Structure 1
Amino acid sequence: MSALNSGWQSAVKKAKKIGNKVDKIVHNYPKLPEFPLGYESLPFQIGKNVSMKSYNTFLDRSESSGYKFRWENRNVYIIEMADLQHEAAVSVLFKYFDRPNNGAIRGPISVYGQPYHYNPTGNGEKIAPDIAVRGSKAHILPSNPHPGLPPGDVKGNPHARIICEVAHAQNINAWNTKCEVWMYQTYVRCLLGIKLFPKIHVRRTVHQVMIARLWTRVALPGSVLSTDATLATAGVHVTEWDFGTIQFNTHTPTGCTAPNLINFQVTIPITDVFWDPPIVGGVPTPFAVFMPGTVVGTNFMIDLFDVQQEVLDAD
């Protein structure tokens, strides 16, 4: 009996291997490199003439973990890798967004790493942020169903309200474009982007340029309208911080040299997380945001000095 089972299992494994090979040929999935990539190699093309369906299937496979991808004109690229500096920045931001839960394991604010959503400007391809923040299902769904269907992630969960995108390998223009894509979705109330540049030596001292940009749907002190015409028409503003040890394109110190400096604090209203308006005629309508009583504070207060120091320590 055991020999029969063993033979059956072997036959099943062979059939699966053959099926997988045929599947890859028929669907033209992207192919990951068989050698280690360095940041200097990115973006790295791993697929040509790949359909949106094949791309989404590829993303669902565990073999794609550790990389971030872009699907563009049926071409697929690796655009980012989860190196230590990238993950250090993500880790700090994750903690800041979880802080108002006041230590609760399952608090009213849900903070996730890289949940797939659909590209708001695309044709149904999946994209994943570094961090997605939203209210838990118990807190952002109303007691009565919406008149219309609000957008969700690819699993049908509530759509992220706050997005974070951290870039190390991506150039600043590609990173900026990726950030602005998310703001085409009205349910994304704001987006915090962090761009890390390579470390350099200036007079035997190691320095690193870091830029933060916050996209919001209201004007903030020092903000400017988005350079994207569609977003500008919608009132999307951008605020920027140069918070590394030296400024972008210069060797001038930034002044981000200690914690709690007012010029290097990013403030995001916690109510953004619970933005959940009724939909009338396909349009979100004004409503009063409900803030759960267990939430601590009124704003997410992100100290960019903490991000800077964590990134510098990640070597």
Structure 2
Amino acid sequence: MSELRPGQSVELLKELHILTRDGRLNQDSRRKLKQVYHLFNLIEPLLAELAAQGPGPVLADHGAGKSYLGFILYDLYFKALGRGHIYGVETRAELVERSRRLAQALGFERMSFLHASVAESADSGALPARIDLVTALHACDTATDDAIAFGLQKQARAMVLVPCCQAEVAACLRQDKALQLARTPLAELWRHPLHTRELGSQVTNVLRCLHLEASGYQVTVTELVGWEHSLKNELIIARYTGQRKHSAAQRLHAILRTFGLEKMLAARFGLEAAPAAIAGEDPAR
């Protein structure tokens, strides 16, 4: 079948419902396969960099669900590489067990699955102290922030994130709406409920990118085209460089202050330090 890549597991594609049970591709499954290859093409260069730098790569996939991403990455990259490991982290026990059975059936020995939340997994003995690559696709609400915190704790060399619904900032904006409308005309940006939701999501992702830059990562933001039909299509790719941008921390704090989010979110974004100290840093650094 010309659409499949050499050595690709037909059985896996059937289990993922990309191929029909008789091994055929219909129009819908051909579209799904194209989406799979698109996502793989985005992540493969990161894996190649990591493989060239050490014995890994070791990948943790948060909010793994049916471990769709993990299985495809293993089949197309890790299997031929002959080293490295993929850990799928998922809160639904039945999906974890399903993935374990499928990995065993396919002989994907370097795949493990953990029944835990993103936050719980950070201190789990089932995961190694260092993780090379962290992925979190469509992790809802604060789970993306938990994945970033996980990556920082595990000294991840790269992170690939696709944030999903985010309600926390929107709730805070609604709470202080009357005060903000009196204080600044910018509050018109979130006067209407729909705008509040969308702006809250936008602000959250901007804060996440600044947090990563302040933590020593080079950040690229683009669209995840074709992975699924979703309005939540923002892809954040972060590579660790070790160059912490003090200007990013300064701007992060300024945004929190402008939107009245300091009290609620400062600690999450690494700003436990006195705000005055952050604000006084050289913006050129």
Query: What TM-score, normalized to structure 1?
Result: 0.26
RCO higher in structure (CA 8 A, sep ≥6): 1
Q: Whose Rg is larger?
A: 1
| Higher share in helix | 2
Query: What TM-score, normalized to structure 2?
Result: 0.28
